[in-house]
Structure 1
Amino acid sequence: MRILHTIAEVRDFRRSQGQATLGLVPTMGFLHEGHLALVRQARAENESVAVSIYVNPKQFGPTEDLSRYPRDLARDLALLGEEGVDCVFIPDNEEMYPTDFQSGVVVKEITQPLEGARRPTHFEGVTTVVAKLFNIFQPTRAYFGQKDAQQVAVVRQMVRDLNFGLGIVVGPTVREADGLALSSRNKYLTVEQRATATVLHRALRSAEAHWQSGERDSDALRSTMRQLLEAEPLARVDYVSAADPATLGEYAGLIPPGAGALLSMAVFFDRTRLIDNVLLSGDATT
């Protein structure tokens, strides 16, 4: 497994692969089973696999947890070595954003609701760094997790709009046995908060069950989720959403016949903010 720190090294690596297909898994490190599931999928579908580990400062707001973001590079590299990854790119900030850096990639409407409403600079940071990684690696496919549903939608929009010549592959959300979605931020939870945090999954599944039973009133779906969340004293709701999966526009009233829905939420446990979602298809399956 090659450990690379500069863009020039990555480009040399890519040239050395010739016409081999390359799967890229962008990460911010502190890897968990969700990341590794994407790595395995990339390995199954490509001749070479690359992983980037970079805690991107541009996607953190001034009050967010950049300095607290968990890091364990030695553990990450050991895990990736076990998975047979060909290349790991670990740049520093100066490599990604030199002192004269002036550019950014902006995706408009789809970044405005949900996470974008709470974190207004977040998605420009995401799209800028992802665009750079796509240009640096020239991958055949890039792999993202469904847990970050809006990020997936934004990246897909960018790829369509800017004609990137690669496929975006989305892996399912990987969960603990009790339903909590895997996240690097879960380590911040106290024992009591960790036990309570399963309420996100329970709220989503309750609303999903109503959907499966024929409920199409978006207000009723949001109410189902909110009631369960607000019944947990340690949980503080940031938002609950029932949105169009393509545009992320919030539904009002009845969801149109045949349309799907993205149910999503963000919930605080003290300072730790967790997100989760479930995608509902128009034929009442997920």
Structure 2
Amino acid sequence: SSFAPQTHIFHDVAPLRKYRQGLLSSARTVGLVPTMGALHAGHLSLVRAAAAENTDVFVSIYVNPTQFGLSEDLASYPKTWESDLAMLHTLDAELASTGAGRVSAVFAPTTKTMYPTLPPDSSIPGVGSFIEMRPLGQLLEGASRPVFFRGVATVCMKLFNICAPERVYFGQKDIQQTVVIRRLVQDFHLNTGVRIIPTSREPDGLALSSRNVYLGARRRAVGIVLHQALRKAEAQYAAGKRSRGDILWPANDHADQAKLAQDTLTPETRARFEVDYISLADPETMEELEEVDPARGAILSGAVKMLPVEQPGADEELGVGGGQIPVRLIDNIVLNPVS
């Protein structure tokens, strides 16, 4: 269509449902991109993918409290509503010129809308209505962040029920989240297709993330250690190695060497970090593998925690939070099956 439909902004369920009903009756299709705002090029790649397959793209913007543990960064999580809308507006104009689908709705609910009966509870006992996935939600990211996948699965169930999308779009960067969403759709017979879009990266390989704004120059430079380590493991698989030890040792070694290198520097120049995990896991269960079955492939993934800057240098670019917010970086590489 030549006219530019406006992007409707919804804060409540009833008007969004009414709008969705109108789209259904005119045989239009909806692709949902669920986000927590603080949009970056990675999110925009999801919107583009959704616009390529659907007449209408819905983007949800909601910082979901139940996926943050009590000690995590909910209070400091970046909120950039005006800039998020501006980015979507610019992208929508680009989509209009290419004849793709359009960003026709932004759903930005309040917490009262998303949690209508009880206030959201992030404690481990968790009073309220939740979706739990065991053991999938307890592994890897779930071991480090025990309430994370309960919160993600619960909020996605709500968003899918509200928006009734034909398809949903997630980034590969949060790979365990994509496994959780696929399992959610499968186990609860949700009527939506799941699309996973490759991770968007900086030129040096760092995965894009809303939390990267916390890093500052010094920690940003060291932050590529995780991606570099995973690439070393990937090379072993490509060279025909199949055992856990053979695939992971170069990754662990690279991280250990980088850690030592930082520890030898002065507090004014170093960016210290801790490796949370480096994993070689089954693509469907996320259980750790001792041996990769080449017919199934595997997921290489990891997480490192960039520690606060100890001693700022003169005129140093420290990032949002002055270099004092610890930043967990996650990344992964899919080891594809080989026949």
Give the alignment partner of residue 156 of structure 2, picking from 130, 133, 145: 130
Question: Do 2:58 and 2:107's aligned partners in 1 also have CA atoms closer than 8 Å?
Answer: yes
Give the alignment partner of residue 293 of structure 2, picking from 253, 256, 259: 256
Measured in 2, the distance between the counterparts of 1:190 and 1:35 equals 21
Deviation at 1:113, TM superposition (A): 1.0
Deviation at 1:106, TM superposition (A): 1.5
Give the alignment partner of residue 110 of structure 1, picking from 121, 133, 136: 136
- Residue pairs, 1:16-55, within 5 angstroms: 16-17=22-23, 18=25, 19-55=27-63
Is 1:68 paired with 2:96?
no
Give the alignment partner of residue 83 of structure 1, picking from 78, 91, 106: 91
What is the match of residue 248 of structure 2? 222
The amino acid that maps onto 2:13 is I
Measured in 1, the distance between the counterparts of 2:233 and 2:116 equals 46
2:19 partner SS: helix
What is the match of residue 98 of structure 1? 116
The amino acid that maps onto 1:2 is H
Deviation at 1:257, TM superposition (A): 4.3
1:151 partner SS: helix
1:30 partner SS: coil
The amino acid that maps onto 2:55 is E
What is the match of residue 169 of structure 1? 195
Measured in 2, the distance between the counterparts of 1:235 and 1:276 equals 15
Compared CA separation, residues 49 and 257, structure 1 to 2 (3 A): closer
What is the match of residue 13 of structure 1? 19
TM-score when scaled to structure 2?
A: 0.81
Is 1:281 paired with 2:336?
yes
Measured in 2, the distance between the counterparts of 1:118 and 1:272 equals 13
The amino acid that maps onto 1:251 is L
Is 1:195 paired with 2:232?
no
Structure 2 residues without counterparts, runs of 5 or longer: 1-6, 93-102, 120-127, 263-271, 308-325
Measured in 2, the distance between the counterparts of 1:261 and 1:119 equals 22
What is the match of residue 172 of structure 2? 146
Is 1:239 paired with 2:244?
no
The amino acid that maps onto 2:329 is L
- Partner deviation per Cα, 1:148-188 (whole Å, 9 max, x = no partner): 00000001001000000110000000101010000001111
The amino acid that maps onto 1:241 is S
The amino acid that maps onto 2:31 is G
The amino acid that maps onto 2:169 is Y
Question: Do 1:29 and 1:73's aligned partners in 2 also have CA atoms closer than 8 Å?
Answer: yes
Measured in 2, the distance between the counterparts of 1:230 and 1:74 equals 41
- Partner deviation per Cα, 1:208-258 (whole Å, 9 max, x = no partner): 111111111112322221211122222310001001111111012x32343
Identity across matched positions, percent: 48
Structure 1 residues without counterparts, runs of 5 or longer: none
Question: Do 1:230 and 1:236's aligned partners in 2 also have CA atoms closer than 8 Å?
Answer: no
Measured in 1, the distance between the counterparts of 2:118 and 2:137 equals 26
The amino acid that maps onto 2:11 is H
Question: Do 2:38 and 2:210's aligned partners in 1 also have CA atoms closer than 8 Å?
Answer: yes
The amino acid that maps onto 1:182 is L
Measured in 2, the distance between the counterparts of 1:231 and 1:190 equals 22
The amino acid that maps onto 1:235 is F
The amino acid that maps onto 1:262 is I
What is the match of residue 213 of structure 1? 239
What is the match of residue 183 of structure 1? 209
Question: Do 1:241 and 1:263's aligned partners in 2 also have CA atoms closer than 8 Å?
Answer: yes
